[in-house]
Amino acid sequence: MTVRLILLITVVALLKIPATVPSPVSGKKICIDPGHGGTALTDSYRVGALGEREEWINLRVALMLKKMLEANGAQVLMTRSKDDRVELEKRAELATSGEADLFVSIHHNATADRNVNFPIVYFHGAASENDASVQAAKFLALELKKQLFNGKGHVSVVSDYTIFPKKGAAVLRHSYGIPGLLAEASFFTNIDEEKRLKEDGYNEREATAFMNAIELFFSHPQSKIKEKVIPDQLPVFHVLEEADRMKPEALNWLNDFESGKELFKEKDTASIQKAYELFTRSARSFPDSWVARECHEYRSAILLQQKKVEESKEERIRAKEFYIRE
């Protein structure tokens, strides 16, 4: 070893020069999809009481996330970079034709109950067939809870079939095969949340949650996405979709669930039947709430008591494949 080399090693050791570890996103291609866009004149549903539009929040967070990803060596495909209308199929096509390693759709949620505010992250199809997307969704749900809710409250990680029971969400369906998620980070129908969502600093925290989750996703091994079979084998469970979720009856989802549990304890046939109806109504009113999985599990148990073995089994599969435990 030459004196010069020994000297160099000593200097490096003394200075404790850190070896620069590249981010797990370095070299990855990520498709970011800010939901909606260009609908201010035609859509009065996706707007908060204070006038903030969902599509504007989605875009602000998406552009911040793009910067973070690019600063860490990732390549980013944006389905839109302005307040533009882009067809759903086109959004998914950008991910597939661009051979993205991950598809991330950014949304914010609305419901009739103004107290409700928690993150919901969707994967496409059945959990056991789309484990890579489930993993990404779980990382994101926990990061959103950490960054936006101080680690408190509930999160839902659910299949997009819970809210679109016939075929899931178009952007995830058309990009199936690529790990993908659609996040409703929080509820702009909650007025305090809408106020926060107007602030750049808060949007930045949300973008950080996405960034952290994407780094976690790429630092873990992923299993291959399987052919989608299970969702089409289950009977459709009809639910209130999108604007219908603003109906007053949707306000009762939590009461229905709690009353259902009380009636279930009564054990007489009439009470059990009434409990079944309440669990059903709760799951229809708010199919992606944090109690919806339990509603389906109770439905399954009651159906079994009523000797409806096949229906009971289908409900058990629905709870297991469409709802991930926290």
Q: Which stretch binds Zn ion (CB under 5 A): 79-87, 107-115, 193-201, 204-212?
A: 107-115
CB of residue 324 vs Zn ion: minimum separation in angstroms?
Answer: 21
Q: Nearest 5°: CA angle at 245, between 280 and 261?
A: 30
Q: Is 119 in the site for Zn ion (CB under 5 A)?
A: no
Q: For tokens 């908060």, what's the residue?
A: 48
Q: Which stretch binds Zn ion (CB under 5 A): 80-88, 104-112, 145-153, 247-255?
A: 104-112
Q: Is 91 in the site for Zn ion (CB under 5 A)?
A: no
DSSP β-ladder status, 180-187 and 120-123 = antiparallel
Q: Is 35 in the site for Zn ion (CB under 5 A)?
A: yes
Task: Among 28, 80, 91, 107, indicate the residue that binds Zn ion (CB under 5 A).
Answer: 107
Q: Which stretch binds Zn ion (CB under 5 A): 90-98, 105-113, 210-218, 239-247?
A: 105-113
Q: Is 37 in the site for Zn ion (CB under 5 A)?
A: no
Cα 2 to Cα 243: distance, rounded to the nearest angstrom: 75
Cα 203 to Cα 211: distance, rounded to the nearest angstrom: 12
Distances in Å between the alpha carbon of 9 and those of 4, 15, 16?
A: 9, 10, 10
Q: Is 80 in the site for Zn ion (CB under 5 A)?
A: no
Question: Considering only CA atoms, which of 130, 161, 119 is closest in space to residue 326?
Answer: 119
Cα 271 to Cα 91: distance, rounded to the nearest angstrom: 48
Q: Which stretch binds Zn ion (CB under 5 A): 34-42, 170-178, 228-236, 252-260?
A: 34-42
Which of 23/190 has CB closer to Zn ion? 190
Exposed/middle/buried for residue 50 (C-beta within 10 Å: 0-12, 13-18, 19+): exposed
Phi, psi of 87 (to 5 degrees): -60, 145
Which of 79/280 has CB closer to Zn ion? 79
Q: Is 60 in the site for Zn ion (CB under 5 A)?
A: no
Which of 42/97 has CB closer to Zn ion? 42
Query: Residue 242 gets which letter from DSSP?
Result: G
The residue ranges that bind Zn ion (CB under 5 A) are: 35, 107
